[in-house]
């Protein structure tokens, strides 16, 4: 049985769980790589293939016996994790209906992966070792890959008889829209990476009066991600009804304000401000994809999504070396969060550049 996405019907629930696993596996690095690095004496400084690739790479990471082997295996995790967004998101976008709400729900699943990652990783580090933090999720990915494979079903006759109207051309002002989306993606990618990777460590330092236990601070971070992720459903519902440009503008204002405030407070105040800040960071995610589907036709969408996520991942990957450099020259995490609040101005500028649009620019959505 060959796997061809255009001839297959994949239920949304499998695409949503795949999104959860993608972010879960990527965020393990933020907590577990530190302990695995200490073990080695280092300083803190196609869709079915996706599941099995993630699982096997994670298991190989747990078996690493040197920093080089671990780095290679982590690179494999990143390689296979990169498959999801240009494939899974494109499959969701090509379906008719309320695109914003559908992307918001899918985004919640992805961010639940972020939410459970520090929680589960913290528990496994507390009661086990860094090796378990890769081994157990790797096994889970392989099990879900088998379930995914067994539940993919094909209905060639249905697809042949079902006439779906597809968009065939770019919408007017698409060049201006893509420039705005590139700026929003770059700025948002840095914010998403900074808040996702750094928040668990930030809590370990600045929630000291609440807990110094790695598992408890992991729970706090998980609660922040879980609560904030539901902002995507609200934003997704909203952008199906009013101009995404206006929504993006107010989202960017919220990012600037609350990320900055999170850099100024500690303990319980920091915890609640972090929920607000993450809500605005997560809330941006369905906006850019919904805007994209309104300007880019179906036959170009996967390519544009690939470029978008490549830009997003490259910017997001720069967070850790950039943070390491700033820490080495004397800055602390509070200053890095302050810097992140200024990065959010890029999202504000992108909302100004974005062409005005109504509820539906593309009649084929």
Angle between helices 12-39 and 67-81 (to 10 degrees): 160
Indicate whether 33 belongs to any domain: yes
Burial 94-116 (b: 16+ CB within 10 A, else e): beeebbbbbbbbbbbbbbbbbbb
Q: Domain with 111 in it: what CATH number?
A: 1.20.1250.20
Indicate whether 280 belongs to any domain: yes
pLDDT tens for 59-111 read 888 888 887 888 888 778 777 776 776 677 777 777 666 777 887 888 788 77
* Integer angstrom CA distances of residue 5 from 48, 91, 224, 302, 304: 10, 8, 35, 12, 18
- pTM (two decimals): 0.70
Instruction: To the nearest 10°, report the CA torsion of 175, 179, 180, 184.
Output: 140
* Average pLDDT over the chain, rounded to an integer: 77
What token pair was written down for 195? 């808040």
Sole residue written with tokens 């929630």: 207
What token pair was written down for 171? 């919408």
Write down the pLDDT at residue 10.
65
Indicate whether 364 belongs to any domain: no
Give the span between the Cα atoms of 17 and 165, in whole angstroms.
Answer: 28
* Integer angstrom CA distances of residue 336 from 29, 48, 202: 20, 38, 10
User: Would the pLDDT of 160 be above 60?
Assistant: no
What token pair was written down for 46? 């196609």
Indicate whether 237 belongs to any domain: yes
Question: Do 70 and 40 form a contact (C-beta atoms < 8 A)?
Answer: yes
Q: Are strands 8-9 and 153-154 parallel, antiparallel or unpaired?
A: antiparallel
Write down the pLDDT at residue 243.
85
User: Would the pLDDT of 5 be above 70?
Assistant: no
When comparing pLDDT for 305 and 284, which is higher? 284
Give the span between the Cα atoms of 158 and 248, in whole angstroms.
Answer: 38
- Quote the distance between the C-alpha of residue 283 and its chain's center: 11
**DSSP calls for 235-304:** HHHHHTTS-HHHHHHHHHHHHHHHHHHHTT--HHHHHHHHHHHHHHHHHTHHHHHHHHHHHS-HHHHHHH
* Integer angstrom CA distances of residue 241 from 38, 100, 105, 211, 245: 50, 9, 16, 43, 12
When comparing pLDDT for 245 and 127, which is higher? 245
Write down the pLDDT at residue 79.
73
Indicate whether 2 belongs to any domain: no
Indicate whether 360 belongs to any domain: no
Indicate whether 289 belongs to any domain: yes
Give me the domain span that covers residue 297: 11-353
Write down the pLDDT at residue 297.
76
Mark out the alpha helices in the chain (DSSP H runs).
12-39, 47-62, 67-81, 84, 90-93, 99-127, 130-151, 156-161, 174-206, 214-229, 231-239, 244-262, 267-283, 285-295, 298-317, 319-328, 333-343, 345-353
Q: What is the phi/psi pair of residue 67, to 5°? A: -60, -35
Count of domains forming the chain: 1
Q: Which of 206, 339, 336 is nearest to 273 (CA)?
A: 206
User: Would the pLDDT of 45 be above 70?
Assistant: no
Indicate whether 16 belongs to any domain: yes
């Amino acid at each position: 049985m060959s796997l061809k996405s255009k001839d297959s019907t994949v239920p949304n629930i499998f695409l949503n769980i795949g999104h959860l696993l993608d972010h879960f596996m990527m965020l393990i690095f933020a907590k577990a790589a530190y302990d695995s690095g200490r073990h080695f004496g280092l300083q803190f400084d196609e869709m079915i293939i996706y599941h099995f690739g993630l699982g096997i790479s994670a298991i190989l990471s747990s078996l690493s016996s040197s920093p080089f082997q671990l780095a290679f295996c982590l690179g494999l995790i990143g390689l296979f994790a990169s498959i999801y967004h240009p494939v899974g998101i494109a499959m969701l976008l090509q379906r008719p209906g309320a695109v914003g709400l559908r992307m918001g729900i899918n985004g919640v699943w992805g961010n639940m992966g972020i939410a459970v990652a520090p929680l589960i990783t913290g528990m496994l580090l507390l009661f086990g070792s860094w090796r378990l933090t890769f081994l157990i999720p790797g096994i889970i990915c392989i099990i879900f890959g088998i379930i995914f494979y067994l539940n993919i079903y094909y209905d060639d006759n249905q697809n042949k008889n079902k006439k779906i109207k597809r968009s065939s051309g770019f919408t007017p002002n698409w060049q201006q829209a893509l420039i705005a989306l590139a700026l929003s993606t770059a700025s948002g990618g840095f914010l998403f990476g900074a808040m996702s990777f750094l928040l668990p460590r930030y809590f370990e330092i600045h929630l000291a009066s609440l807990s110094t236990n790695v598992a408890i601070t992991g729970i706090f971070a998980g609660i922040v991600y879980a609560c904030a992720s539901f902002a995507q459903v609200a934003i997704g519902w909203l952008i199906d009804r009013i101009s995404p440009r206006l929504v993006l503008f107010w989202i960017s204002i919220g990012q600037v304000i609350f990320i900055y405030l999170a850099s100024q407070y500690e303990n319980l105040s920091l915890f609640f401000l972090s929920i607000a800040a993450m809500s605005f960071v997560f809330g941006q995610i369905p906006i850019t994809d919904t805007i994209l589907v309104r300007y880019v036709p179906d036959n170009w969408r996967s390519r544009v999504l690939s470029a978008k996520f490549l830009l997003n991942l490259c910017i997001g990957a720069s967070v850790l070396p950039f943070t390491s450099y700033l820490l080495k020259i004397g800055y602390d995490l509070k200053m890095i969060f302050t810097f992140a609040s200024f990065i959010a101005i890029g999202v504000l500028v992108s909302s100004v550049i974005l062409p005005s649009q109504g509820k539906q620019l593309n009649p084929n959505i």
